[in-house]
Structure 1
């Protein structure tokens, strides 16, 4: 007996208009027996519509076809996804290419029994594909889990397979499985609250149980259901725009929205309903009239609910509002210190918990962390951080969830209060929105040389190195409030993470200072895995900051050239706005140890060092793949993996720690600087596989400790390192390491043709003094 058709069918999109049914069948027959292959055609013109469907005999053939992606049919790359059936059992529909859930790799799981463990979820969902992360959400006060979790896969296809399978049972209990809703999609849900409805946002409001909006839209006889919110999705609309070819006619949104407001949480709950009844007329309830009961929505909109619109809510009283001195401004939106967001418009006042639990601790820090309206058509630059509504409203800085009244991000602000320093007589002010790593190291170097700037000459305001995207967007408002109005400042020194343009706009008194903008990195060339997820606002903000700055400093020539190369339109169209004097290159001051290395025995294995952040832009996958090849060849070595890790480190690190356990000398961030230098002095070779590097402090520190560098022949590395330290291909990297594993003395006797004094503070001090003092 055959499996259900929806388990044996795939959608093929982006096919050539000359592709026929026979060609489609011929191509996919390589992966299993094809029952049917059809190219969808316009009934009026009989022309191909650019997509089709292939039905196999077995679901295993679908798995084989999906595993063989990407596919090229008639010389053209096509997209394949598992087809999703209509809710009424009719012909399968295409997954919308612009649907926000089209390529999600994370699922939300609800209704978990209390005795379930991470291993239970991993073992179950591994049946559908490669699981990279399992995260059960726990209550911090009780230690019990909260009944829901998130599971990440390495691909979107297992997610589709999970959702199509349905009826999941773990430990004898049925569980609820949905796609996790991304942060950008939550913005679309907010658009629903303002009454702006598009087919995409309407589909999102219905939830994300299945791949397409059509699974959660029931075709109704609209004439018999007056008053229901309706989205017109006719593909032949009057404006001539191409609609969804699978959704023709008018469909009714069938969703229920419940808004929960209490002292600690405020969030939306969106769920699919078989029918939506709307109670029109004025509201009889008071402040919390926005709560729904069952399928009924109380609304005070005269004449009933508008299409796709959630009613506006009355003013919400809250103790935090008395600390908010900007709430009188129409359209103002602010992110409160505790993660609450407050906004006010002409007809509504909203207090929303977006990042964590309410923090009731008194603090000297301002209530507002910053403001930033959403940028239409853009997303976070990482593009990969997806959250369910339940997670989004309770997310904290440590990446976990909290319902404790004392939770939230208050600890992050405590960090800054211990580091901030204000001197009434200061002439130089340093602002650092992301005080960690090389950003912190540069400031510590400047502070440590009191002959350059005495303690009384220098003031410092910082923010902790967490939530980079928020700091880049909102730190200007924080510093605007922190800097005293009365001061004797002459120089403002800030990293390019700060939106200097916003700060000077908020504080015109700072415009007269010499404003120095230091680029540790630039956002115009940051590598992202999907170009469509790039948020151009970060790079644009850096361009604007350059136009405001009096002196722009880059830590390498590569950093400078890559930045200017990516903005030729701005430079050519607005030559008069290019800062004068032009940008300069001023290398980062690197600490070099002069500890004598002990000679190693010739039989001691090669010691390989990897000292980078545990993130995708450093390409750890390539590095560990090379090491796997060395182990498969029977070669011996020692491995130290340093660098800072974060809450969502790439899964390859967990895998490598297991596979390379017999070779590991040290694993993880060194607990202090002494331990860090000790490990570097034990190393023989330091390796980079990065796709994003503008200077490379750790590589130079390792060279100073006696390691020989192997770097890709790209980015800043050709500027810093000689040719014999560079490799062009992964094969060259593997060959060099294999040779040195066999004869480690070869690399131990090699000398790096590099004068590290060029990067020492002693050499660079005079240039920094000229920069900050104008000498």
Structure 2
């Protein structure tokens, strides 16, 4: 099968997904086109122009049995500008949707990214979402937006989108589910610390939607409760990262064993395998790949009871949330206290259903169904 895969805003999580997808299906003939994850407003609106009238046009004009696109792709425009793609069976994968992002004063107040999501979904034969939370917030958001439009709005559009939709998670690498050698279980910097200290990892993009203010408040609460811990703070830092990270280095230098991006994938996994707890403070999360990876590596998740987390994890692993950031920090601290006692610590959650071993057949079946559609046309 000849498959064209388009990743119009190739962020780390999108790259993780398509690299493993291609690796899992070597029997197919893959063509991958990507665009850098920068200049968001231009990228999501201009990717169809960049591809259709750029050097990749000849690639797009080749015959394909299946077209796979991420939700950032301006699919309706691209199919119009490159007519041979119009009749190619198409699967769109939503890593996120533009209806469920947290509001910020810095964000452009425009519905165009949301409209683009609707157009792209409407141009696909199958619409896949990484979680039910992602699917439901998309459908609810699309319905709410369409109700605000003045006239000539298709009455059954959201129903048609819903009927084409299903949930299929981003699978985790199979190697995460194999036990590493004992010598590799713990990162050397963890081993140098007091063995009684809780080893906590926080790993996310260093941006406002991952809750740096919440993280700072939680660490301050840990100090008031005299909790003994070490913190490994991982993630991608940007030119203008929130100031809370500077405050964390100033106030919690004595707790930090790592501050910044891991030098390699293997080092990142070593940090996870050596940790006790994975802490999230996200105010925007659609699947939480880093959490799932950490759980697979043996960490107990300590997560806010919001976003996708209540869908994925039992309340045992969730701390209470509040509009009062300090009150929320107290909830996280109370949950951490439970984790630190053998009598109240929860069992390790099972993430085996997320392995490629258990998800590959679901992907294969969709490919086959769409390919059969090609033969019928």
Please state how far the C-alpha of 1:744 moved relative to its aligned partner: 6.2
> 1:760 is matched with which residue: 345, 349, 355?
355
Please state how far the C-alpha of 1:675 moved relative to its aligned partner: 0.2
Cα distance in 1 for residues equivalent to 2:68 and 2:226 = 52
Cα distance in 1 for residues equivalent to 2:9 and 2:23 = 19
Aligned to 2:262: 670
Aligned to 1:206: none
Please state how far the C-alpha of 1:773 moved relative to its aligned partner: 3.1
Please state how far the C-alpha of 1:531 moved relative to its aligned partner: 9.1
Please state how far the C-alpha of 1:606 moved relative to its aligned partner: 0.3
Cα distance in 2 for residues equivalent to 1:444 and 1:759 = 16
> 1:751 is matched with which residue: 329, 334, 347?
347
Aligned to 2:247: 655
- Higher share in helix: 2
Asked if 1:475 is matched to 2:55, the reply is no
Aligned to 2:112: 537
Cα distance in 2 for residues equivalent to 1:736 and 1:467 = 39
Aligned to 2:234: 642
Secondary structure, aligned partner of 1:709: strand
Q: Give the TM-score of the pair, scaled to structure 2.
A: 0.84
Secondary structure, aligned partner of 1:658: helix
Aligned to 2:33: 461
Please state how far the C-alpha of 1:772 moved relative to its aligned partner: 2.5
Asked if 1:574 is matched to 2:146, the reply is no
CA contact (8 A) 1:493 1:518 kept: yes
Matched pairs, number: 343
> 1:696 is matched with which residue: 288, 295, 314?
288
- Which structure's CA Rg is the greater one? 1
Asked if 1:487 is matched to 2:59, the reply is no
Cα distance in 1 for residues equivalent to 2:137 and 2:94 = 12
Asked if 1:631 is matched to 2:223, the reply is yes
Residues 510-538 of structure 1: per-residue CA shift (max 9 Å, x gap): 01011111100001121122398422110
> 1:614 is matched with which residue: 199, 206, 214?
206
Aligned to 2:375: none
Aligned to 2:366: 771
Please state how far the C-alpha of 1:581 moved relative to its aligned partner: 4.5
Residues 23-70 of structure 1: per-residue CA shift (max 9 Å, x gap): xxxxxxxxxxxxxxxxxxxxxxxxxxxxxxxxxxxxxxxxxxxxxxxx
Cα distance in 2 for residues equivalent to 1:533 and 1:467 = 13
Higher relative contact order (CA 8 A, sep 6+): 2
Pairwise mapping of residues 403-482 of structure 1 onto structure 2 (< 5 A)? Answer: 427-449=2-24, 452-454=25-27, 457-480=29-52, 481=54, 482=56
Please state how far the C-alpha of 1:440 moved relative to its aligned partner: 0.3
Pairwise mapping of residues 581-620 of structure 1 onto structure 2 (< 5 A)? Answer: 581-591=163-173, 592-593=176-177, 594-595=179-180, 597=185, 603-620=195-212
Query: Which 4+ stretches in 1 moved above 4 angstroms?
Result: 569-573, 596-603, 743-747
CA contact (8 A) 2:302 2:336 kept: no
Please state how far the C-alpha of 1:461 moved relative to its aligned partner: 0.7
Q: Which runs of 5+ in 1 are unaligned?
A: 1-425
Residues 304-363 of structure 1: per-residue CA shift (max 9 Å, x gap): xxxxxxxxxxxxxxxxxxxxxxxxxxxxxxxxxxxxxxxxxxxxxxxxxxxxxxxxxxxx
Q: Give the TM-score of the pair, scaled to structure 1.
A: 0.42
Cα distance in 2 for residues equivalent to 1:646 and 1:454 = 38
TM-align CA RMSD: 2.4
Aligned to 1:419: none
CA contact (8 A) 2:139 2:162 kept: no
- Higher share in strand: 1
Pairwise mapping of residues 218-617 of structure 1 onto structure 2 (< 5 A)? Answer: 427-449=2-24, 452-454=25-27, 457-480=29-52, 481=54, 482-484=56-58, 486-530=61-105, 533-569=108-144, 573-577=153-157, 578-579=160-161, 581-591=163-173, 592-593=176-177, 594-595=179-180, 597=185, 603-617=195-209
Please state how far the C-alpha of 1:431 moved relative to its aligned partner: 0.6
Cα distance in 1 for residues equivalent to 2:61 and 2:95 = 30
Structure 1 pair 660–701 and aligned structure 2 pair: CA distance change class (3 A): same
Cα distance in 1 for residues equivalent to 2:161 and 2:341 = 50
